[in-house]
Structure 1
Amino acid sequence: MLLSEVRARPGYSLLVGVGLMASAIVVGVHLENAVTGYLMDLSVFRDAGWAFLHHTPLYTEGFHTNSGFRFIYPPFAAFLFAPLPLLNATLMQVLWTAGLIGLVWWVLKVSLDRMDVRRANVVATAALGVALWLEPIRSNFLFGQINIILMALVVADVLGVIPQRFRGVGIALAAAIKVTPAAFGVLFLLRRDMPSAVRAFGAFLAVAGFAYWLRPESSVYFWTTEAWATDRAGDQDFFRNQALSGLLARLGLEGHAYTAAWLAGVALVVGAALWAAHRFTRAGEHVVALGVIALATLLAAPIAVTHHWAYSVLLVAVALAPRYRSWWPVLLPATLVFLVGPNYLLEDTSTHGWVESAIQQTLGNAQCVTGLAVLVAAVVAARSRRPDVVPAPVGARTAQLQNAPART
């Protein structure tokens, strides 16, 4: 069947071939960096695993660090990182990188499958190179970050990979590792899937309780102090922070003006995203609903540095779905912005004129502005969705979806 399709569609086979070559090259680049580079954040995770194994402090000045950086994740994450110190550093980096590559491919494959893209395995493999070269994904590999793993847990939960009787557990585990994925539980509420929402909350409490049993003092400190320190990941004006908070801080807003503008912006972003996600959910477009909530979570966060934006992978997936080709005028430029990742232009703002400064700020904040533009476009598109339609089961291919016209 595949051979006959290739013969009938030589242009398709050429695109797939080029994509496969690009994917192989980018995979090689990331693996080479794992062998020769230093994954700084992964080193912090390794330090946390060592501290957990040796019963030393996780958050105070007594934290054993080889990287020079603090550990800012919940104690349950340190428990999961406990095997890392047992591995050779290079082997650890290679295994971590290989695992992340596999998860990016898997997220693409599942997302494409849920949007009824034919031969999702082949398309995901051919598109893997583009997805792996998105700046947020590159940053995850450069630093050895965990956001791709968290995204995979969320995707498994909300796109129906996890069986219904266990649904909610994926989000609970992700939230127990890094708190912020808890926001995706709202998708269960939008679906009126109260059992999964309750299951997610209960599983989170169970995991947090398990971590408390293992490290009671660290758990109390984290959930009463560390978790509420909104600046623990850096200052708002840090050039990699592409949340709304970063944009406002770099525009020079301070004090009450900054707080008022940020709160108003967050309210608008969250309100618009919830409205759009509800309509997409009721229309059975669960991948798009996931992307909208991801955008809101990132834009409204106190800080969201670029490696947090792993959900930009969904731009690639949605752009490849035939039913969303009419969205290309938004999706393709947005994907290009995230491929370039021009935030680095803000690292040094010592320019010598207002024109240079304006250009630098415009380009350097492009990822945040693009996120806002995509959200606005999603809200506009959501207006054509009928909120009274009973949503298709998550993970199911229904005749209604397969025969639906292209979305606009």
Structure 2
Amino acid sequence: MVAQGARRTAAQVAGVVALAVAVTAFLSVAAVRHGFFDLKVYYGALTFWVHDDGEIYDYLKPGTQYGFTYPPFAALVMLPMAYLPWPAAITVSVVASVVVSAVLIWWLLDPVSRRAGWSRWFTLAVALCLAAAYEPMRETINFGQVNMLLLFLVGLDLLRLLPARSRWAGVGIGLATAIKLTPGVFIIYLLITRRWRAAFTSMVAAVVATLLAAALFPDASREFWTASLWNTSRVGELAFVSNQSLRGVVARLDPDHPSTLAWLLLVLATLGIWAWRSRAAVAVGDEATGLALTGALMCLVSPVTWVHHLVWLIPALILLVDNAMAAPAHGPRRRALLAFAVIAYGLLISRIVWAWEKDFTGLDGFLGSNTYVWISLALLLLLPIRRWAVPVAAGPATGRPEPAGSAVEPAGVPQLVEPDRGTPTGERHRVGGPLAVR
């Protein structure tokens, strides 16, 4: 047994090394080097503000129309950057993104690996290699963006604090909203799923953080909330192929006169589907799927969803694999879910939308230039909700429905009941009071 375990570990180490080499080779060809463009914008704006006595929202990166577009609380959080040399700022950005990405992926994957009987370190190592090849992730790192930090704050609330019924649940969402407005959709998620205390906490956290920034930087706050917030020219062209939102789809149909009405109708329909599916997920205690659905929604309804924003789809891709492994081994459901995950991931590492960067006209342009939008829609519509084969009762502490007799780990990922740990993975759905998936 010892020798067999050693051989298995050696094989896993070799597999991880081989995968890391393959990903490195892939990145050397596929990854675009952006020179930490967005980080340079943040760094330049903060330096202009702190050391040159300028107004942070007056700064534009030389030769571009790009300036600091985040709320004043984000400037407060990033303020130490102004006192760092540029190489140190790059190091902090990269290390912070890598660390929080690893933690978030671990939260989502660890319960899955233990249920499936996978080696936990091997599972995480493979996932991190695959994440490195994921276009939105590599764009986040190469631009010096804050996406993964925000996803981590939201995940901390929904995957750890909320399932543990912590009084601090909601603070992460509130802080993420104060840093960048789009995570505010998770406050709406808490409201429509009737987690009133967490929703109230998130709103209080967002307001307190915003007021703190206003007290410290009154001029910058006045400028942002009255002028800079409404200046859409600072974020780029809506029809640019990198904008993988419903607004981008509409804009590419008619770049000169994009229909606001068509976009709003699409947003309303998408919100309706999301609210229905999110409530169904939370009703059975599937908080991870609620996170995944809301991440997909945010990508779809935001007026601007650059490719690097699609890191919010990572939870959904991981949960596709989770649902596949919970399905019968060798059955059509497992094959379909794994195929869905592989195809979605394959397209999202491929840079396929950039083939239509210069010309997105015609049927092929409509389908191809919006590929990532179609993936977001498919995940919103088709990501299974893990249902328990037990009655649902009201949770005493939160007032929301909870699966009676179920075990939900702090990561918000339901655990299969496994009275016989030796049962093969593919059989557990039949003998252990398992997940039923929809």
Same fold (TM over 0.5): yes
Question: Does structure 1 conserve the Cα–Cα contact (< 8 Å) formed by 2:42 and 2:68?
Answer: yes
In structure 2, relative to structure 1, the CA distance for the partners of 1:241 and 1:383 (3 Å cut) is same
1: CA distance, partners of 2:263 / 2:94: 36
2: CA distance, partners of 1:365 / 1:109: 30
In structure 2, relative to structure 1, the CA distance for the partners of 1:214 and 1:248 (3 Å cut) is same
Q: CA deviation at 1:17?
A: 4.2
In structure 2, relative to structure 1, the CA distance for the partners of 1:328 and 1:13 (3 Å cut) is farther
In structure 2, relative to structure 1, the CA distance for the partners of 1:193 and 1:115 (3 Å cut) is farther
Match of 1:294 in 2: 295
TM-score, normalised by the number of residues in structure 1: 0.84
SS in structure 1 at match of 2:254: coil
SS in structure 1 at match of 2:437: coil
Query: Is residue 327 of structure 1 aligned with residue 337 of structure 2?
Result: yes
Match of 1:395 in 2: 410
For residue 371 of structure 1, the aligned residue among 368, 372, 376 is 376
Amino acid at match of 1:70: G
Question: Does structure 1 conserve the Cα–Cα contact (< 8 Å) formed by 2:239 and 2:255?
Answer: no
Moved more, 325-334 or 291-300: 325-334
Query: Is residue 80 of structure 1 aligned with residue 77 of structure 2?
Result: yes
Question: Does structure 2 conserve the Cα–Cα contact (< 8 Å) formed by 1:84 and 1:92?
Answer: yes
1: CA distance, partners of 2:186 / 2:311: 14
Match of 1:186 in 2: 188
2: CA distance, partners of 1:142 / 1:102: 15
Amino acid at match of 1:391: E
Question: Does structure 2 conserve the Cα–Cα contact (< 8 Å) formed by 1:323 and 1:405?
Answer: yes
Match of 1:311 in 2: 312
Question: Does structure 2 conserve the Cα–Cα contact (< 8 Å) formed by 1:17 and 1:126?
Answer: no
Amino acid at match of 2:153: L
Match of 2:174 in 1: 172
Question: Does structure 1 conserve the Cα–Cα contact (< 8 Å) formed by 2:285 and 2:414?
Answer: no
Q: CA deviation at 1:2?
A: 10
Amino acid at match of 1:143: F
Match of 1:159 in 2: 159
2: CA distance, partners of 1:222 / 1:94: 28
Amino acid at match of 1:144: G
Question: Does structure 1 conserve the Cα–Cα contact (< 8 Å) formed by 2:248 and 2:304?
Answer: yes
Matches within 5 A, 1:316-355: 316-321=317-322, 322-323=325-326, 325=334, 327-349=337-359
SS in structure 1 at match of 2:160: coil
2: CA distance, partners of 1:183 / 1:114: 27
Question: Does structure 2 conserve the Cα–Cα contact (< 8 Å) formed by 1:240 and 1:305?
Answer: yes
Amino acid at match of 2:264: L
Moved more, 362-371 or 321-330: 321-330
In structure 2, relative to structure 1, the CA distance for the partners of 1:227 and 1:14 (3 Å cut) is farther
Question: Does structure 1 conserve the Cα–Cα contact (< 8 Å) formed by 2:73 and 2:209?
Answer: yes
Question: Does structure 1 conserve the Cα–Cα contact (< 8 Å) formed by 2:295 and 2:312?
Answer: yes
Question: Does structure 2 conserve the Cα–Cα contact (< 8 Å) formed by 1:30 and 1:97?
Answer: no
Amino acid at match of 1:345: A
Question: Does structure 1 conserve the Cα–Cα contact (< 8 Å) formed by 2:286 and 2:385?
Answer: no
Percent identity reads 25
Question: Does structure 2 conserve the Cα–Cα contact (< 8 Å) formed by 1:295 and 1:375?
Answer: yes
Q: CA deviation at 1:43?
A: 0.9
Q: CA deviation at 1:4?
A: 6.4
Question: Does structure 2 conserve the Cα–Cα contact (< 8 Å) formed by 1:319 and 1:331?
Answer: yes
Structure 2 gap ranges (5+): 328-333, 394-400, 419-431
SS in structure 2 at match of 1:391: strand
Moved more, 329-338 or 286-295: 329-338
Matched length: 393
Structure 1 gap ranges (5+): none
Higher helix share: 1
Amino acid at match of 2:81: L
TM-score, normalised by the number of residues in structure 2: 0.79
For residue 47 of structure 1, the aligned residue among 44, 48, 53 is 44
SS in structure 2 at match of 1:113: helix
Moved more, 382-391 or 100-109: 382-391
Match of 2:435 in 1: 405
